[in-house]
Amino acid sequence: MGLELPKYPEMEEDNVLNFTDSEIVSHVKNALTSVLSGDSNSYDQLVGVMHHSKYLAPDEVALLETTLKALAGAVSSIDITHHDSLLSAIFSMSMWNYGPHVADALTELIVSLAISNGKYLDLCLRMLVSNFTPPPYFLDKLKLPRSLERKGQVLSRVHLAFKKITDYVPLAPLRLLTVVLQGMPTIYHKDRAVVIYVENMLKLESGEIGELVGSTMLMAVVDRLIELDVEIGWDAILQDDFSKGIFEMELEDMDDIEENDEPDVGEFRLSRKSLAGNSIAELLDNLLVLTFEHFESCEREGRLAKVFETLLQSFQITVLSAYKSKFAQFVIFYACALDPENCGMRFATMLVELFVKYSQPQPTRMSAVAYLASYLSRAKFLSASFICSMLKRLVDWCLEYSETHDGDINPNAHRVFYSGCQAIMYVLCFRMKAFVNVPRMKLQLLMPLEQVLKHKLNPLKVCLPSVVEEFLRQAKAASLFTVSETFIFDGLLESELSRAFGGLERLDTFFPFDPCLLKRSDSFIRPMFVFWSMVKPTYDDADADDDEGSSDDELVQDHENENEDMMNGIDMDEFDGQLQKMSITPKSTSSHKFGGRYQEQARMPSRIRPSTSPESL
């Protein structure tokens, strides 16, 4: 480092152990005050000690530790103007470069400075926050056992320092919030640096000062997830031009794929493989997993319900209006799965309340009901009776709306009504089997729905043809009701009318909980997720008559057991392959039909992947 190690008078190596702590502090104070009289020799030597970092000899380590401790006892003699070079050296030190003894001494000095004078508070907090992440040379070593041990040593000291400073400076948490948020790495920093920084933010949320900073930390993490998510454009997922078509099939014939691993000319795919190598997608995946694990910890500690309230607030502010979000919303899905009776029901209830509240903006209400539809369809952990109660609220609202509006079809004027109708039909495409043979559910839910769907506003003509077609097919198989008008859907995903009520945001094609294509995140979501391959539509249920006369509870239990049996019976590796090979075929939305020998096998989600349609962006 080019600087001579300080050798204060009477403090040669052989005699240093003979000095008391107070005498060493006195010598350091003399070095600090001497610079005021123009004698900077001892002071320069003191600064030189601070510049020693890596690869220190044992005597250098001992000297550094001793000097740091002495400075902690002499903070009253440090002047922010005359000792700026010393302060600069101290605040640029990284605990990651030192062993536990030096790290302890450095932490003690930083805490002493922070509580001694308000001028140093922000500087000390920034120094501690800078230790959230290791120096660049250390990042690649983080997976090694010794490096993980060093990580634990550093971060425990950093967060203990926050607590000590807060004990003496009550306003410190407010300043810390600003420092942490300003210091967040950008999405273009190294993956490991961003992950470990967010890990520390979540550590603050669950730590001793979490009551003061926790909610802001969690909301900032969700904001970063959304920021990353919207950076993943559809060109990173689709291997062709968006303008050529929209999704046609979720699952395709596996034998055909095995014979031809490459897509046909003019075909493009939605695939987990297409995200491989996408650094932003991989970072988002890692951060989602980190957040999932944090929620698991909260659940074990019995505080998930409290954290969930912050998550709901963040959802309404940030996630609900992020129509380009594809994966970040699974943070709330997973939290609900960990506590279905509280968080799971709370989330659905909040969405219903947003939808029926006339004071909310139309896009907010439509987004809320789109989330609700996707959630009720995909959440394996929700009971059929609860799903029915949520659908009843939607049906009741739509019925009341139709009774007070006597006009004809007008997609622009009745956007919220049509979005509610589409949500009901979409959920029933997944869940109809659980309801059709339960008299109470049929009376309270399906019979009023018939009045809504046959109203002059004609939601069957306005909503997405792909949803309506599947719904009517199942309704006909279940003998629920008949429709006098003939609908020719021609295999269309959407129509001019559905695009009209969807608006610029394309909320008619927004189903936010479609299968997650991020590999690590999917491993958390999958056990509590309903894939379309698990659904048995009414027209495929050969044993439907066997359920006649069943009680509500029996049928609900049968439905839940059936879903569980289907999940347990699936080879996960094989299903991975199916999910990765979901195909999408370009076509004209006005004329092209489903073709070939797969037409009869195609089911609703085969033509409903609207939430991931490029046009929904």
Q: Flag whether pLDDT at 589 surpasses 50.
A: no
Identify which has the larger pLDDT, 475 or 375. 375
CB of 472 closer than 8 Å to CB of 479: no
Alpha-carbon distance of 228 to 230, in angstroms, equals 6
Same domain, 25 and 171: yes
Which whole number is the average pLDDT over 229-233?
84
Q: Which residue, chain included where needed, has tokens 């809320």?
A: 368
Given this model, what pLDDT does residue 533 score? 85
In sequence order, the β-bridge partners of residue 583 are 269
| Residue 520 in domain | no
Token pair in block for residue 490: 């021609």
Shared-domain flag, residues 368 and 408 = yes
pLDDT level of residue 56 (50, 70, 90 thresholds): confident
Count of domains forming the chain: 3
Q: What is the pLDDT of residue 493?
A: 54
Q: What is the pLDDT of residue 485?
A: 62
pLDDT at 257: 33
Quick one: which of 397, 100, 226 has its CA closest to 405? Answer: 397
Q: Cα–Cα distance between 184 and 180 in angstroms, integer? A: 6
User: Do residues 334 and 382 share a domain?
Assistant: no
Ramachandran assignment for 458, one of left (phi > 0), alpha (psi -120 to 50 degrees), beta (any other): left
Q: Is residue 569, in this structure, part of any structural domain at all?
A: no
Task: Report the C-alpha dihedral over residues 593, 594, 600, 602, rounded to 10 degrees.
Answer: -130
pLDDT at 184 over 70: yes
| Angle between helix 121-130 and helix 145-168 axes, rounded to 10 deg | 160
Token representation of residue 606: 């085969």
pLDDT tens readout for residues 408-457:
777 778 889 999 999 999 999 999 888 887 888 777 788 888 889 888 88
Unique residue bearing structure tokens 């922070």: 114
Q: How many residues are there in the chain?
A: 617
Which pair of structure tokens corresponds to residue 539?
């027209």
Choose between 190 and 550: higher pLDDT.
190
pLDDT at residue 495 above 80? no
SS3 label, residue 6: coil
Instruction: Give me the pLDDT at residue 523, please.
Output: 95
Instruction: Determine the Cα–Cα distance for residues 225 and 290; give it in Å rounded to an integer.
Output: 11
What one-character DSSP code corresponds to residue 329? T
CA distance 484 to 507: 28
pLDDT tens digits for 497-544? Answer: 666 655 555 666 678 998 898 999 999 999 999 998 888 888 875 444
Most confident option among 340-349, 467-476, 490-499: 340-349
> Are 349 and 491 in the same domain?
yes
Residue 155 lies in domain: 21-183
Confidence (pLDDT) at 455? 87
Res 146 pLDDT > 90: no
Contact in structure between 177 and 125 (CB atoms under 8 Å)? no
570 domain residue, yes or no: no
Q: Give the number of other CB atoms < 10 A from CB of residue 6.
A: 20
Q: At what angle do helices 304-314 and 210-231 cross, to 10 degrees?
A: 50
Mean pLDDT, range 578-607, rounded to an integer = 35
Greater confidence (336 vs 447) lies with 336
Decide if 253 contacts 598 (C-beta within 8 A): yes
Nearest partner of 496 among 431, 590, 407, 402, judged by Cα: 590
Q: What is the CA radius of gyration of the chain?
A: 31
pLDDT at 506: 64
Amino acid (one-letter) located at 65: E
Same domain, yes or no: 360 and 502: yes
For the chain, what percent of residues have pLDDT higher than 90? 45
Q: Is residue 161 part of a domain?
A: yes
Q: How far is CA 54 from the centre of its chain?
A: 38
Q: Identify any residues that bridge with 529 across adjacent strands, giving them in sequence order.
A: 379
Helix (H) or strand (E) holding 269: strand 268-269
Q: Are 333 and 381 in contact (CB under 8 A)?
A: no
Cα 8 to chain centroid, rounded: 56
Structure confidence at residue 136 (pLDDT): 86
On whether both 331 and 395 belong to a single domain, the answer is no
In a domain, 611, yes or no: no
Query: What is the tens place of the pLDDT at every residue in 147-156?
Result: 889 999 999 9
Q: Give dist(CA 133, CA 33) in Å, integer.
A: 35
pLDDT for position 49: 87
Question: How distant, in Å, are the alpha carbons of 184, 412, 422 from that of 499?
Answer: 39, 10, 13
* Domain identity same for 170 and 193: no
Same domain, 320 and 348: no
The arithmetic mean of pLDDT across residues 280-304, rounded, is 96
Alpha carbon distances (Å) from 518 to 203, 265, 280, 289: 24, 27, 11, 10
Token output for 219:
């909301």
Q: Are residue 209 and residue 98 in the same domain, yes or no? A: no
Same domain, 400 and 329: no
Domain boundary among the residues 339, 369, 386 is at 339
The answer to the question of residue 597 being in a domain is no
Give the model's pLDDT for residue 63: 87
| Residue 1 contacts residue 52 (beta carbons within 8 Å) | yes
Tokens standing for residue 348: 């659905």
Here the tokens at position 323 are 């129509």
pLDDT at 564: 44
Residue pair 165/191 in contact (Cβ under 8 Å)? The answer is no
> DSSP readout, 522-559?
HHHHGGGB--GGG---GGG-TTGGGGTT--HHHHHHHH
The residue among 455 and 311 whose pLDDT is bigger is 311
First to last CA, the chain: 55
Which among 509, 543, 559 is the end of a domain? Answer: 509
Q: Quote the pLDDT of residue 275.
A: 65
| CA dist., res. 108 & res. 102, Å (int) | 10
How many Cα neighbours within 13 Å face the side chain of 394?
36
CB 510 within 8 A of CB 322: no
DSSP assignment string, 368-408: HHHHHHHHHHHBTTS-HHHHHHHHHHHHHHHHHHHHT----
pLDDT one-digit tens code per residue, 376-393:
999 999 999 999 999 999
**Hey, what long-range contacts does 142-145 have (CB within 8 A, 24 or more apart)?**
142/192, 142/196
In a domain? residue 34: yes
Do residue 36 and residue 91 come from a single domain? yes
- Look at residue 240 and tell me if it is in a domain: no
- In the listed set 160, 183, 206, which residue is the last one of a domain according to the structure? 183
Do 350 and 481 lie in one domain? The reply is yes
How deeply is 186 buried, as exposed, middle or buried, from its count of CB atoms within 10 A (0-12, 13-18, 19+)? Answer: exposed
Mean pLDDT (the chain) is 78
